[in-house]
Amino acid sequence: MDFDRPVERRGTASYKWERYGPDVLPFWVADMDLPSPPAVVAALERRAAHGVYGYSNVPDSLVEALLEHLARSYGWHVTADAFVYLPGVVPALNLACRAFAGPGEAVLTVVPAYPPFLEAPRLQGRRLVTAAARLQDGRWRLPLAALEDAVTPDTRVLLFCHPHNPLGRVWDEAELAAVIDLCRRRDLVLVSDEIHCDLILDAVRHVPAAVAAPDAAARIVTLMAPSKTFNLPGLNFAFAVIADDELRRRFVAAGEGLLPFPGCFAIAASEAAYREGGEWLAELRAYLRGNADRVAAFVAASLPGVTTTRVEATYLAWLDARGWLAVHDGGPAAAARACLDAGVALSDGRAFGAEPGCLRLNFGCPRPQLDEGLRRLGRALGGAPG
Ligand SMILES: Cc1ncc(COP(=O)(O)O)c(C=O)c1O
């Protein structure tokens, strides 16, 4: 696959590309500027050519593709009745808050966090409690003691991101065991958002939380999707795996009447992706590893007031520009603003519950585009020592 080839996305109603003017290159919202696997494009063309786009049913062939994917990739053997089909993972985060915590009760998460983790509890009339991830020897760690301290008697849910957006960590088996132990002892439902699980860029293995603790199935909801993996977020398809009947019933009841059935294009594309996208995905991972290394090398060489950590998974790098911010006027938004002024849009870390001066950079794009973005980033933040 020629991932270096640029794809013009302006004029395609792209959320990412239409937010800023023509002079700004977008490195913010998490979709990739890379085409999906050829088998996906072919499946969509075939489906489009049919001409009738009625209500859909999730066919047995897609269910089989999902079951095979989980077994092949993660050694995870589930049954089809564990699946709940969804239009997205974000609706599922909101449903989980409603289903498993009562009004005013608390939902726990680790910060920095993908912003909907912070928004869902409030949107659903629940309370948010947080614990900040720890940086130890240059690697982000789960804040196990702080999580323990943050749990109140009315905390019901842990919204967990694995691998983690924005920190890029694939939590290891010891960390998973500790989190599951916490959920058991404090009687929390573990909602494990594993949407980035297929985008492992390092020689580490993704272990689903439910695989790490098969005997904790009664309290684990796993959320997955083909959308990040195969760059299909505009098709709106995700799924939950909930092995326990009662837990699944509560989750489904919270969404009754609110969620659309998966659409016919999502179904066609998802099945093709899981069945035929393996080779493309292997090439993508290698390409993203190259991009991640390029970002890290650039930050180390050219941005003296900025640090970053190794990205183990995802196509997102977390930049700590607090050193830059400390020697520049302009208030808490100054780093993100300086980037925009230089023609490059990153996500401001404040939306992730981080201190001012942190930024997230989406490197899921052709390398020439990344290089131009990094040049602009150098103009924005390269000036002063931290
Ligand atoms: C951790 C995480 N969960 C969920 C989503 C979005 O999921 P969806 O588009 O299926 O709602 C994202 C997108 O960036 C994400 O990073």
- pLDDT tens digit string along 167-192? 999 999 999 999 999 999 999 999 99
Distance (angstroms) between ligand 1 centre and the Cα of 197 equals: 12
| Closest to 308 measured CA to CA, from 370, 195, 192, 386 | 386
Q: What number does the ligand 1 atom closest to the CA of 316 have?
A: 16
Question: Is the predicted pLDDT of residue 385 greater than 90, yes or no?
Answer: no
Distance (angstroms) between ligand 1 centre and the Cα of 90 equals: 6
Average pLDDT, integer, range 75-85: 98
Residue nearest to atom 1 of ligand 1 (CA): 165
The answer to whether 180 and 213 are in contact (CB under 8 A) is: yes
Residue nearest to atom 13 of ligand 1 (CA): 30
Task: Encode pLDDT of 23-36 as tens digits.
Answer: 999 999 999 999 99
| Region for residue 93 given its phi and psi (left: phi exceeds 0; alpha: psi -120 to 50; beta: otherwise) | alpha
CA gap 193, 159 in Å, rounded: 7
Report percent pLDDT > 70 for the chain: 99
| Residues near ligand 1 (Cβ within 6 A) | 30, 88-90, 114, 161, 165, 193, 195, 225, 227, 233, 238
| Residue 222 CA, distance from chain mean position | 13
Cβ burial of 104 (10 Å; 0-12, 13-18, 19+) is exposed
CA gap 192, 59 in Å, rounded: 26
Report percent pLDDT > 90 for the chain: 98
Question: Is the predicted pLDDT of residue 383 greater than 90, yes or no?
Answer: no
Question: Is the predicted pLDDT of residue 351 greater than 70, yes or no?
Answer: yes
Question: Is the predicted pLDDT of residue 75 greater than 60, yes or no?
Answer: yes
CA gap 39, 43 in Å, rounded: 6
CA gap 284, 309 in Å, rounded: 21
Question: Is the predicted pLDDT of residue 305 greater than 70, yes or no?
Answer: yes
Average pLDDT, integer, range 326-339: 95
Question: Is the predicted pLDDT of residue 249 greater than 80, yes or no?
Answer: yes
Q: What number does the ligand 1 atom closest to the CA of 237 have?
A: 10
Ligand 1: residue of 29, 90, 235 to mutate (most ligand atoms within 8 A of CB) is: 90
Mean pLDDT over the full length of the chain: 97
Task: Encode pLDDT of 271-303 as tens digits.
Answer: 999 999 999 999 999 999 999 999 999 999 999
Q: Identify the pLDDT of residue 386.
A: 38
Instruction: Give the other-Cβ count within 10 Å of 354's Cβ.
Output: 21
Question: Is the predicted pLDDT of residue 384 greater than 70, yes or no?
Answer: no
> Mean pLDDT lowest for which of 102-106, 214-218, 349-353?
214-218
Task: Encode pLDDT of 51-67 as tens digits.
Answer: 999 999 999 999 999 99
